[in-house]
Structure 1
């Protein structure tokens, strides 16, 4: 990075220019978490929601921003992963294992995704996210996941690439 200047900023996003390169960044944090959640019955817990930038619904692993609200400033990556998993899916993880950190979209954004594997899950609520989120929770047997995803894609639902990446990292 050289001489970075802010071109535009809102509560959620900042557009920077560094030399000739323009990129986006979140004002609150450069980190996000994604959680590959596997139930004791060997099901993967996925979320589906409408994503305005894609113009459609997307199947994803549960995920969220680190330090995105004043109440969560200074929260650790693992604590954020645990909170987001509970908010979005209703599950509390007995075990949370860090798998990797990777830039989300390195040519566009300064954001690093931290992927965790959550196991020993206990269902506490129905999930669905916080107010303003319209999240559908899916429980998909790992043995039938490929076919289920193909059917979703054939129906016009996108699948986030972090899902197969997380499965590979977890050896699933």
Structure 2
């Protein structure tokens, strides 16, 4: 295996080449943590935020990068998921269960996404994220989720596939 050649290194993303393949890497993290919040009454907590690369609002599960900030160096992947849950939604989880670890986009980046579920939720604050993230929080009964997502998509929002993957795995593990 050849060494990696740096084609361009930016603040948040770099473009690299190994052999004849170009790919992207984050200079400050190679692991992403997502978390599917499930309330005791089988509601799903999702977030909505504007994503610059997509030039659209996206409905997503809360997520963040592991070790991307100096103050969180050494943080476990599960701790990152719990921290992002609290920052973005205002909920704290009694239990965090790993669902699956999978390539984020195997043809584009070696990044791995670790998906978790959060249960035993307590509302601590309103959420909204940090550093001007401008995140909206949606709490949706599981029985109404498909209709909610279809309505948002019809309104021009994008729906992140990790919602569906997380729900599938949470059902498989008996969490919902």
- 1:168 aligns to what? 168
1:13-47 CA distance string (max 9 Å, x none): 11111011000001122101000100112110000
SS in 1 for 2:113: strand
Runs of 4+ in 1 over 2 A off after TM superposition: none
> Does 2:112 align with 1:129?
no
The match for 1:66 is: 66
Alpha-carbon distance between aligned partners in 2 of 1:56 and 1:24, rounded to the nearest angstrom:
21
2:120 counterpart of 1:120:
yes
Q: Give, in whole Å, the separation in 2 of the partners of 1:60 and 1:6.
A: 31
Tell me how far apart the structure 2 counterparts of residues 30 and 146 of structure 1 sit (CA, whole Å): 31
Q: Does 1:9 align with 2:9?
A: yes
**Deviation at residue 164 of structure 1 after TM alignment:** 0.4
TM-aligned CA deviation for residue 11 of structure 1: 2.5
Unaligned runs of 5+ in 2: none
Partners of 1:13 and 1:110 in 2: CA distance: 13
Cα distance in 1 for partners of 2:12, 2:165 equals 26
Give the aligned CA root-mean-square deviation in angstroms. 0.9
After TM superposition, the structure 1 = structure 2 runs for residues 8-87 of structure 1, keeping only pairs within 5 Å, are: 8-87=8-87
Deviation per CA, 1:113-165: give whole Å up to 9, x if none: 00001000000000000022010000000001001110110000110000000
Shift of 1:2: 2.0
| 1:90 counterpart residue number | 90
Query: Secondary structure, in 3 states, of the residue corresponding to 2:74?
Result: coil
Partner of 1:149: 149
Count residues in correspondence. 172
Distance in 1, matches of 2:132 and 2:109, equals: 24
